[in-house]
Structure 1
Amino acid sequence: MAEIQQNINESKNTIKVKEKKKITWKVIKSQRELIFMSVPFLAYIILFAYVPIWGWLMAFQNYRPGTSFFKQQWVGLKQFKDLFSYMGFGQVFRNTVAMSLINLILGFTSAIILALLLNEIKNRFLKRTVQTISYLPHFLSWIIATGIIANVLSTDPAIGILNNLLMKLNIIDQPIAFLSIPKLFWPIVGVANVWKEVGWNTIIYLAAIASIDPALYEAAEMDGAGRFQKMIHITLPGIKPTFMVLLIMNIGHILDAGFEIQYFLGNGLVQDYSRTIDIFALKYGIEQFNYSLATAAGIFKSVVSITLLFMANFIAGRIGEEKLV
């Protein structure tokens, strides 16, 4: 009887907890300040993310500017057939996926390593200095960032820092035109993204590390664990949930290899490696006025991204890891 009564009491407590979690007008009223604060952001998302979706209809038309919407020629899936039959689209898709994977791997690896190293720095002034220096590039626009990168990689002795350094070290005999070598374009994009975003990405992991119970480190130290062992057995498992959530979100952006860096650093010599889906859409949508084909490319990118996001979230849940929902 005692066990039955205990189960009843636990059930009542569970019901009470569930009732507390219900959204009521009283809860809404108590949080009205937060709701009012979120209205501008909600309006921004609706205005710039959802309202423009009506433009997807152009992908099913032979769209002509200046013609009434009701007089446009509807062509069904013809634009998608043209997109996939275009011989250059496979190359564009390859470039997009390759640069996205490079950015994903280098971005996660560098951010985690930097967070681990910063966590081990005990001198507060030195730690803040390193953090500030690593954060600064994030606040530069890609126009400025690509200008800096182009100058660093330049063959001009007056500004080409990298070539000057390699020649001083007797590694090369003459300057190398890095931005003219197709196979070097992907690594350049990956390193540029790391330089610009590693400090900003590190913030999230430092916050996750700060939430780890200090008692775990004390217990490990009493057992004779060193710094490296504490990193492996406490810090990394502690930030694993954060890593999984960020990984799922980034998989959803796997086709967002970027636009600015490829557009500003790319040239005719490396276009076979620099063109992405975004540049493809710009070329056909703006330069050749084929808005329907450009819209079809954008829809393809969005559908693939959404599919990958749901797949990654589902797989994470099936293997018992953290997921978005």
Structure 2
Amino acid sequence: MATNIERSAAISSAKTKHSRSLWSQLWKYRALYLISIPGIVYFLIFRYIPLFGSVIAFQNYNIFKGITGSPWVGFANFEKMFNYHDFSRILTNNIVLALYDIIFVFPAAIILALLLNELRIVLYKRIVQTIVYMPHFLSWVVISGIAVSVFSPETGLVNSVIAKLGFEPIYFLGDNNLIRPFLVGAGMWRDVGYSTIIYLAAMASISPDLYEAAQIDGANRFKQTLTITLPALMPTITILFLLQIGQILDFGFERVWVFLNSLNSGNGEILDTFIYRVGILDMQYSYTTAIGLFKSVVGLILLWLCNTLSKKTTGESLF
């Protein structure tokens, strides 16, 4: 009997100490928690609360009856999605463009960061960084206007050079076979410079002593990059790669919509543009919510699989 009382007292004392420790930690870092409140509120309002609206994917949603008054249809919207004659084409476009991003754009940011890290003239390095960062702050509407001006078949700079070389002008934005490389190239030009910030920050944390030791051993800059810089960047690369995999079906609505037309939609239309066209313009809310839910589930499954594989092979993971 006494033993049980002592055990209960010990558990109660441990809980009290844990509670005091928790509150002391909260009070100690109160400034950081206060700063994080706006971000937490943002995610609660715009990310988590809207998740409850996913229920309309299983309804024949009526905006006048609301969620509680709309009839349930089960998986009928998902069946409609998979039976749609162009769904496989649109899904293929989405996957191909996402793979192009992973194969070409993702490594480009790493390569550019490594090149910038090798610049020794600080002023020149800052000028180059500013130039490659600037396109990120342009909206896709502005970028589409620039692209139309540069690649216009009649007045564009590129086609002017092609014509002077004796070749026929190319309608880049009207060629169904060129729209995928064009979208990937536009995304690379806009975002690859900004993406280097994380890698440059990770490189700044590498101890200079490692490079000095490697230099004493006779390693040149290229070998130092292979043996020191890249291994030090691997945790960062792994995390960003996993995040990219989780968004494999989120190629970006604006990035595609501003370049999309009837001539290139065969290889250019993706799930996001289809959702906008059918869900917003045609007001098929339940149907497009089912497509959005499908995207989220696929991304979650891929993220979980790749995270598990990464944890077992490299020891790095998101969770």
Q: Verify same fold: TM over 0.5.
A: yes
Q: How does 1:1-325 map to 2 (within 5 A)?
A: 24-157=22-155, 160-168=156-164, 170=165, 173-325=167-319
1:137, 1:273 → 2: CA distance? 25
1:85, 1:122 → 2: CA distance? 58
8 Å CA contact retained: 2:162, 2:168: no
Q: Which runs of 5+ in 1 are unaligned?
A: 1-18
8 Å CA contact retained: 2:113, 2:199: yes
2:150, 2:21 → 1: CA distance? 55
SS in structure 1 of the partner of residue 273 of structure 2: helix
2:68, 2:173 → 1: CA distance? 47
Cα separation, partners in 2 of 1:68 and 1:215, compared to 1, 3 Å: closer
8 Å CA contact retained: 2:56, 2:67: no
8 Å CA contact retained: 2:279, 2:287: yes
Cα separation, partners in 2 of 1:242 and 1:70, compared to 1, 3 Å: closer
Cα separation, partners in 2 of 1:307 and 1:23, compared to 1, 3 Å: farther
2:163, 2:224 → 1: CA distance? 42
Shift of 1:68: 4.3
Letter in 2 for 1:98: V
1:68, 1:118 → 2: CA distance? 54
Cα separation, partners in 2 of 1:313 and 1:148, compared to 1, 3 Å: same
Q: Which runs of 5+ in 2 are unaligned?
A: 1-16
State the Cα RMSD in Å. Answer: 1.6
SS in structure 2 of the partner of residue 63 of structure 1: coil
SS in structure 2 of the partner of residue 182 of structure 1: coil
Shift of 1:44: 0.6
Identity rate, percent: 41
2:313, 2:21 → 1: CA distance? 31
TM-score by length of 1: 0.89
Letter in 1 for 2:83: S
SS in structure 2 of the partner of residue 218 of structure 1: helix
Cα separation, partners in 2 of 1:39 and 1:178, compared to 1, 3 Å: same
1:69, 1:217 → 2: CA distance? 61
Paired residues, number: 302
Shift of 1:23: 5.7
TM-score by length of 2: 0.91
2:305, 2:79 → 1: CA distance? 25
Shift of 1:222: 1.4
SS in structure 2 of the partner of residue 62 of structure 1: coil
